[in-house]
Amino acid sequence: MSRAQRYTVRQAMAARERGRAKVRSATTAVTMASVVTAGAVALVLPGAAHKTAASQSGTSGSSSASSPGSGSSSAGSSTGSGAGSSGAGSSSNSSSQNSGGFSSGSAPSASSGGSVATSGGS
Amino acid sequence: MARAATRPRQGRAVPTPRQARAATVPRQHTEPGSASWRALGTLVRLVVTDRHRLPEAQQMLRADLDAVDLACSRFRADSELSALASASADGRPHQVSPLLAEAIAVALRAARLTDGDVDPTVGAAMSAVGYDRDFEQIPSNGPSVTVATVPGWRRVRLDGRTLTMPRGTRLDLGATAKAWAADRSAARIATKLGCGVLVSLGGDVAVAGPAPDGGWRIRVQDVTGDPDDPPAGPYALVAIRDGGLATSSTMARRWRRGGDLLHHILDPRTGLPAAPVWRTVSVAAGCCADANAASTAAVIRGRAAPGWLARLGLPARLVDAAGAVLTVAGWPDESEATQN
């Protein structure tokens, strides 16, 4: 990868952090080094995510943030020209919508013992 | 939030349809049943509160998933979505099936709710970074990849069943179709069979009908697996009674190109895998499609995600790259939930 290409990708990632850019090039070569760089940038940017110190897998600490405040993104309520506006999902469960338009159900509760399913990436 | 089925009856109130269905099922005399198999390129998990209903439930779910796969698969040459990719090369309006129209509508809704973080027009970008076939068939290593421009969901118009996209747009419904399919099937099965149903498609979990005592117990972790297998990495055990729960993670579906590690959650603004701020985000919502949209968007939003989720009031659990856990908006604190 050339220096110029690397710079282009870095520019794109920086612009993403500012939340305003799209990559215009259709064939910019990229390596994950750029992504890692962007991640490093994100991790050192000022901002208030309430989190505890990192810990090893299996013994992670935790904290909770019950109030809004950190972050500066919008609540996702833009009205574009996309015409898809039918309700998501077709669950028969009772739910309500919050101000962002997402449906809300009852909050999960802490549990113990065995589980009937797992939820992770796939 | 109290559920209709658990509210005490007053006077001679007429039971709701859900109460009526629940009343016909003697839950105390039934045992749960479950089954697992693979479909849509992922692990399917079906649980019903009455094991006698399992065969019929399984038959319904298999049929539903076959139909969704045939309509929405980006990797099947015979799918409607593949045909659409060819047909829409001219940028003119095209009629799509009711099922595909519903799937696209859900995807566009996710895009709108997330302000474009979850964008169905990333199909070409996804292929460009190497995810161009069933994940099991993707070479684990390969040469450097390219970045493709994402047309943007705002340029897609769906009027009923008439779809118009910019020339050359490739849709990828992978971010939303499984969650929507889980919602759809759980509701259909619960309504028809009159029992409680959990459908998990690769960890996108939807529940419908009467929940078992104590709720549906779900282990939240980095990568979806068999609940009988021991967990790997940080996890939590929670119970839900309605709606859906979804987890998005950069720990699953990863591959190397040019020596670099890539994952499948793309930031549509760059066409690149999202920056590694959160490795795993789980969200509970009124339906699985919304939970999935929020969890995927949270991975892409990075440090802004906790505040965004809290403002929306969506209970969530976020795990950072080092394994530290953050919970927001009513998700049980890890000291309450079982976790290691």
DSSP string, B116-155: TSS-GGGHHHHHHTT--S-GGGS-SS-S-EEE-----GGG
Provide the edge-to-edge strand list for the sheet that holds B94-95. B94-95, B162-164, B157-159
Report chain B residues whose CB lies below 8 A from the CB of A11. none
Q: In whole angstroms, give the CA distance from residue B293 to residue B305.
A: 12
Torsion of CA B140, B141, B147, B151, to 10 degrees: -20
Does residue B22 surpass a pLDDT of 70? Answer: no
Report chain A residues whose CB lies below 8 A from the CB of B205. 117, 119
Residue range B124-143: mean pLDDT, rounded: 78
Q: Report CB contact under 8 Å: A103, B287.
A: yes
**Would you say residue B19 lies in a domain?**
no
Question: Residue B78: which CATH number?
Answer: 3.10.520.10
Q: Give the burial string for B252-290 (b: 16+ CB within 10 Å, else e).
A: bbbbebbebebbbbbbbbbbbbbbbbbbbbbbbbbbbbb
Share of chain B above pLDDT 70, in %: 90
Does residue B235 surpass a pLDDT of 50? Answer: yes
Distance from CA of A92 to the nearest CA of B (A): 6
Q: What is the pLDDT of residue B293?
A: 97
Residue range A63-91: mean pLDDT, rounded: 34
Alpha-carbon distance values, B72 to B97, B298, B310 (Å):
11, 24, 32
- Across the strands, what pairs with A30? B145
Q: Report CB contact under 8 Å: B200, A117.
A: yes
Does residue A52 surpass a pLDDT of 90? Answer: no
Q: Report CB contact under 8 Å: A120, B18.
A: no
- Per-residue pLDDT of B262-294, as tens digits, reads 778 888 988 888 888 999 999 999 999 999 999
Q: Report CB contact under 8 Å: B200, A95.
A: no
DSSP string, A60-92: --EEEE-S--S-----S----S----SPS----
- The amino acid at residue A47 is G
CB atoms near residue B38 (< 10 Å): 10
CB-nearest partner of B242 from A15, A84, A105: A105
Report chain B residues whose CB lies below 8 A from the CB of A91. 183, 186-187, 206, 208, 242-244, 286-288
Residues A102 and B294 sit within 8 Å (Cβ to Cβ):
yes
Q: What is the pLDDT of residue B137?
A: 79
Report chain A residues whose CB lies below 8 A from the CB of B285. 95, 102-105
Q: Report CB contact under 8 Å: A81, B239.
A: no
Q: What is the pLDDT of residue B263?
A: 77
Q: In whole angstroms, give the CA distance from residue B264 to residue A54.
A: 24
Question: What is the token pair recorded at B199?
Answer: 């459908």
Nearest-by-CA chain A residue for B229: A118
Q: Choose, out of B19, B162, B278, B328, the residue to mutate when testing the contact with A (most A CBs < 10 Å).
A: B328
Q: What is the pLDDT of residue A99?
A: 65
Q: Report CB contact under 8 Å: B328, A92.
A: no
Q: Report CB contact under 8 Å: B308, A118.
A: no
Q: What is the pLDDT of residue A1?
A: 37
Judge if pTM exceeds 0.80.
no
Residue range A21-50: mean pLDDT, rounded: 35
CB contact set of B85 (below 8 Å; sequence gap of 6+): B123, B170, B171
Q: What is the pLDDT of residue B28?
A: 52
Residue range B210-214: mean pLDDT, rounded: 95
Distance from CA of B74 to the nearest CA of A (A): 16
Q: In whole angstroms, give the CA distance from residue B201 to residue B181.
A: 8
Q: What is the pLDDT of residue B261?
A: 77
Does residue B207 surpass a pLDDT of 80? Answer: yes
Q: Report CB contact under 8 Å: A27, B146.
A: yes
- As a whole number, the mean pLDDT across chain B is 87
Range of the domain at B260: 31-340
CB-nearest partner of B183 from A62, A89, A121: A89
- The amino acid at residue B202 is G
Q: Report CB contact under 8 Å: B324, A54.
A: yes
ipTM above 0.85, yes or no: no
Does residue B4 surpass a pLDDT of 90? Answer: no
CB contact set of B104 (below 8 Å; sequence gap of 6+): A84, B96, B120, B156, B158, B163, B171, B173
- As a whole number, the mean pLDDT across chain A is 48
Residues A88 and B110 sit within 8 Å (Cβ to Cβ):
yes
Does residue B135 surpass a pLDDT of 80? Answer: no
**Would you say residue B4 lies in a domain?**
no
Indicate the number of domains in chain B.
1
Does residue B200 surpass a pLDDT of 90? Answer: yes
Q: Report CB contact under 8 Å: B314, A104.
A: yes
Comparing A46 with B182, the larger pLDDT belongs to: B182
For the ranges A64-73, B202-211, B247-256, B278-287, the lowest mean pLDDT is seen at A64-73
Distance from CA of A3 to the nearest CA of B (A): 15
Q: Report CB contact under 8 Å: B310, A65.
A: yes
Report chain B residues whose CB lies below 8 A from the CB of A35. 260, 262, 272-273, 275-276
Which pLDDT band, with edges at 50, 70 and 90, does B29 fall under? low
Residue range B221-240: mean pLDDT, rounded: 88
Does residue A87 surpass a pLDDT of 60? Answer: no
Domain segments of chain A as ranges: 3-44
Report chain A residues whose CB lies below 8 A from the CB of B337. 110-111
Q: What is the pLDDT of residue A93?
A: 47
Does residue B59 surpass a pLDDT of 90? Answer: yes
- Per-residue pLDDT of B80-107, as tens digits, reads 999 988 877 778 899 999 999 999 999 9
Which pLDDT band, with edges at 50, 70 and 90, does B246 fall under? very high
Residues B179 and B206 sit within 8 Å (Cβ to Cβ):
yes
